[in-house]
Structure 1
């Protein structure tokens, strides 16, 4: 057993002893309850006209994406929909090669461009380049959360006059709520058309196979604990004056950030869980020390010292660097987006996916895992868990584990966990998820079930306050636009208000 003791036990504090085993669980820790009754459904309706019928001649849309791989992915998805709204042909998007991530990759280096064009041929005309002697490109930017009417009002008159328009910094420039066929088009782009190139797919497949060769099941953890991320959060992790000085120096690079208030940040659930806290959460949820865990991360603040408690809890600790040789990774290593794509594949194929911070990669993967079968996807209920971690020395392990189960209700990736239409669409693509009601009815008859309980299998309602449900506020409900869409109430999140467009590096750091 690993033993953690906060304070002096002679003063009555409980011995906090972490078991090596995950213990017996009331539910299957490797699958989501009722997932077999739901499936992805993104086919166009009969009313959705073919591309040939709606595309206007001499009308071209170009976009410039921004941020890391997954933020750029959202821009590509939304660009297809924007072109459809404008009855325009889309020129294959240009990827961001100048930001913080400094990746010179083009679209065709990461995604199979021919597959992309073919998969969407019924929905949109897509060109690799503008026609020779085509119109001069006019550059503009649209507001974030711009809906159909917004595009028709702001962009349509320009593209009708100029014929070719490039929309810059195209991230979150499309409203969260759109009419049903456009939402389904979003899903077709995301889940069908965007396929990684063969070299990326093959290397990713090998990494997954190597994880499977060691264990039937594995967990993938997307760990964001970089110094820049922590400095922005304004949180304090117990590293004394050294930590305050180091993170404070980084934070002062951004003039628009207010002074940090670590206690307030933790109370509000804005502090990413530490690697140790992630490990404790997983153990409390039933995952033992024998389980293999794949970690996708950048630079971890504190390095091996910070990772040591997680590795102690889960010794079978892997990354792409431990699974593959330098020679195998050589063709990807100089390109951050291609390396991120490898992590994406291994995380997507995992039996359980967990994150300590709900950034773009975590959101995209959460939506994808919902669409393809509701595989368990664990998001920390940070507001509740942060309080629990602070007080863990005052309780037994059994009490701690029971509270983790209670607090994580609604944060496990179960079907219908978030109300349809709420939250960021790429994270909760409810329009594209259908229920097989006939199969559910047959199952109820087979097992002689009566009225279904509204409580999830294995859930505990102790200490679960009514206002802490994993409800997601509507990203389109107010006029203020933030870098990333609003999160569930207690989810690890950051407040992006106040980020200046004069500080693009800060946006890029946060845009995995």
Structure 2
């Protein structure tokens, strides 16, 4: 069937491949210029909201609540951003236990294979000093009797709340005096009292900073993007073969794709046979680079926009990326805007390379992702806290139908529907209900409203300004609730044992609202999603 063509000015007449990876099949004509009824580079209501994470007057200083001979040490797991959540939650866990925190041990052995220690990724002195009023932190355990002190190791279940720590960990800490919590990923409840949530924000958004070499290189990359264009988009793209195989999705690559991804999928014996159509209808398939490009063009971003792509291996390589580059010819990565010599100090370390991408994505005017991994969540929360910079999460459930039927409509119809479907998924204030989703993605306890400024805007064209202290209110109800039902969180077999332990029955009841019972007996699966 011949593609539908309409006479219209400023059409870019490239042959845009469809979902089929590597297949050059003609599709509808995409206008070359951007068109939108809104400012596509800012969030409309962002000026009325700001990050607020100062402790209340009731939050005692660390020196008043820290007990002697209580040392907590945690071992993180996963990629850089999952480890970041573990570090943040470790500070809060130490506060709950009135313990001294030992600088966390980073994951150096898993899938990500990075031998860096904490001080090689983060500014350790700032971490300790910035949190001095909240939690006492030391660089290493003191020696005991002139010998190295080996802590008692244990693990807590995922989403463990305050009571859980006080009943499970505190008795051990009182007896052993030094405890290391292993595989510390999402081991703290999503919902805590407000002062503890604000402590999470102080750690994540203020105390944790990358080392000077990483920060300076990240600033250099962002500056080079700015030299090319006033605004830029950062795309965090996860389209690795392992990721696609795990998802159970089908992207139209025929027998070759089925064989290649099926072979990878067989590594995980516990995965059920997938129904690709059902998975895609549920919005659980990562969008392809082309789909991301079409969504962005529909939202009004023109062909001249510069995009920074942060990604690992892309299944199908350049053939898969070609449609995105046809839609946005100014596509870059850290490899294309730096020399090998500049990247040499970082290239052998996956976490340092991830940190560079993190910094460029954080600095971008617009951040978009095709996944719901840890980097996407951390950046979404951070961008909310620091001014609600546009952060686009595809509404995959509705976009699925749009992409499926796109050959039966004009570009104008496609773009109009795309903009409508994306309302509520653009990073605007109040899009997500407070407490919904992971706290690191939606730090609602740390977002305040400047109601005086909002009132001035509503009553007259006077200059907007920060309201008085009494006019600052925590964010209220959501404007548009989001689809988070299908987010995947994996736990491990040890958690299952913890939850079936009669002794801990009361603890499970205390954290059941936050606990996701999905489990996996395949450790590699967890690591795959732990960017």
> If the length of structure 2 is used for normalisation, what is the TM-score?
0.86
Contact 1:6 1:393 in 2 (8 A): no
> 1:499 — aligned with what?
520
> 2:185 — aligned with what?
171
Contact 1:371 1:429 in 2 (8 A): yes
Aligned with 1:231 (options 238, 245, 248): 245
> 2:333 — aligned with what?
319
Contact 1:63 1:94 in 2 (8 A): yes
Deviation at 1:499, TM superposition (A): 1.6
> 1:417 — aligned with what?
431
> 1:399 — aligned with what?
413
Counterparts of 2:119 and 2:131, CA distance in 1: 16
Aligned with 1:66 (options 59, 77, 81): 77
Secondary structure in 1 matching 2:344: helix
Structure 1 stretches of at least 4 aligned residues deviating more than 6 Å after TM superposition: none
Counterparts of 1:315 and 1:135, CA distance in 2: 57
Is the aligned partner of 1:19 residue 2:31?
yes
> 1:364 — aligned with what?
378
Is the aligned partner of 1:106 residue 2:117?
yes
> 1:180 — aligned with what?
194
> Structure 1: which 5+ residue stretches go unaligned?
8-13, 449-466, 485-494
> Structure 2: which 5+ residue stretches go unaligned?
1-11, 20-25, 463-478, 493-515
> 1:33 — aligned with what?
44
Secondary structure in 2 matching 1:419: coil
> 1:75 — aligned with what?
86
> 2:495 — aligned with what?
none
Contact 1:418 1:471 in 2 (8 A): no
Is the aligned partner of 1:301 residue 2:315?
yes
The C-alpha deviation readout for 1:100-148, integer Å capped at 9, x for no partner, is 0000010001000000000000000101000011754110000001000
Matches within 5 A, 1:251-290: 251-290=265-304
Contact 1:385 1:404 in 2 (8 A): yes
Distance 1:31 1:396, change over 3 A: same
Is the aligned partner of 1:214 residue 2:228?
yes
Deviation at 1:472, TM superposition (A): 4.4
> If the length of structure 1 is used for normalisation, what is the TM-score?
0.89
Counterparts of 2:313 and 2:459, CA distance in 1: 52
Deviation at 1:283, TM superposition (A): 0.2
Counterparts of 1:98 and 1:259, CA distance in 2: 30
Distance 1:274 1:496, change over 3 A: farther
Compute the RMSD of aligned alpha carbons. 2.2
Aligned with 1:389 (options 403, 412, 430): 403
Secondary structure in 2 matching 1:189: helix
Is the aligned partner of 1:119 residue 2:140?
no
> 2:445 — aligned with what?
431
Aligned with 1:84 (options 95, 100, 114): 95
Secondary structure in 2 matching 1:184: helix
Deviation at 1:430, TM superposition (A): 0.5
- Matched length: 472
Deviation at 1:468, TM superposition (A): 8.8
